[in-house]
């Protein structure tokens, strides 16, 4: 399957992720950063579930590919997920401004799903400078999920809104600007 992804260097153009039917082969036409085997396009679309950078007609294919490649993609050692902070490339250049206008606080917004002790996670998030929400909206910055490739209502909404999706393990080391330290992405 072919998934078209927004490209930083192509203006209105796009890159293409090719995913084999068995999910064992994933190639991006950008050439990637490690011999064509890994790049921000693969990381964002297939590992993090980012959907704002995927052409709308390809959202279903991206969801299928993400489920198909679950646990098959190996993140290179020392990978830095710098794409997470590049809002214009992700199609989110106005997201922070909209959140601040609508939510008022300007704090990053997180939603939790599928985990135990959600009240504890919510309290910890607030103590650490996050605002929490019960259901993801277009203003949500991060959805923390027990199964990030699942098909729950919250996960589907998060993908449609371009919300970053992380595991509870990744959430524990996520910085306020939404960046995972490279060493923790490998976990």
Compute the average pLDDT of residues 51-80.
83
Strand arrangement, sheet containing 142-145: 131-132, 109-113, 142-145, 164-167
CATH topology of domain 94-187: Rossmann fold (3.40.50)
Output the CA angle 101-140-32, nearest 5 degrees. Answer: 115
Domain edges within the chain: 1-81, 94-187
Residue bearing the bigger pLDDT, 104 or 163: 163
Place of tokens 């990030």: 148
Whole-number pLDDT of residue 2: 93
- Cα–Cα distances (Å) from 178 to 44, 89, 92, 115, 139, in that order, read 13, 15, 13, 20, 14
SS3 call for 6: strand
Is residue 12 a contact partner of residue 74, using CB atoms and an 8 Å limit?
no
pTM for this model (two decimals): 0.51
Reported as a single tens digit per residue, the pLDDT across 77-114 is 777 766 666 666 665 544 444 443 334 456 778 899 98
């Amino acid at each position: 399957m072919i998934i078209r992804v927004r490209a930083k260097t192509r203006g209105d153009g796009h890159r293409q992720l090719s995913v084999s039917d068995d999910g064992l082969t994933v190639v991006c036409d950008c050439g990637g950063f490690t011999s064509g085997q890994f790049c921000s396009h693969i990381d964002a679309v297939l590992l993090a579930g980012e959907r704002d950078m995927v052409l709308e007609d390809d959202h279903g294919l991206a969801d299928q590919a993400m489920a198909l490649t679950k646990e098959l993609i190996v993140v290179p050692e020392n990978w830095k997920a710098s794409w997470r902070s590049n809002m214009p490339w992700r199609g989110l250049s106005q997201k922070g401004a909209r959140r601040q206008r609508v939510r008022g606080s300007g704090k990053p917004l997180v939603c939790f799903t599928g985990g135990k002790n959600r009240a504890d996670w919510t309290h910890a998030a607030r103590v650490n400078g996050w605002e929490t929400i019960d259901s993801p909206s277009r203003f949500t910055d991060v959805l923390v999920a027990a199964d990030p490739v699942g098909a729950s209502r919250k996960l589907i909404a998060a993908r449609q809104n371009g919300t970053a999706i992380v595991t509870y393990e990744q959430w524990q080391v996520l910085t306020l600007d939404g960046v995972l330290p490279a060493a923790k992405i490998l976990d």
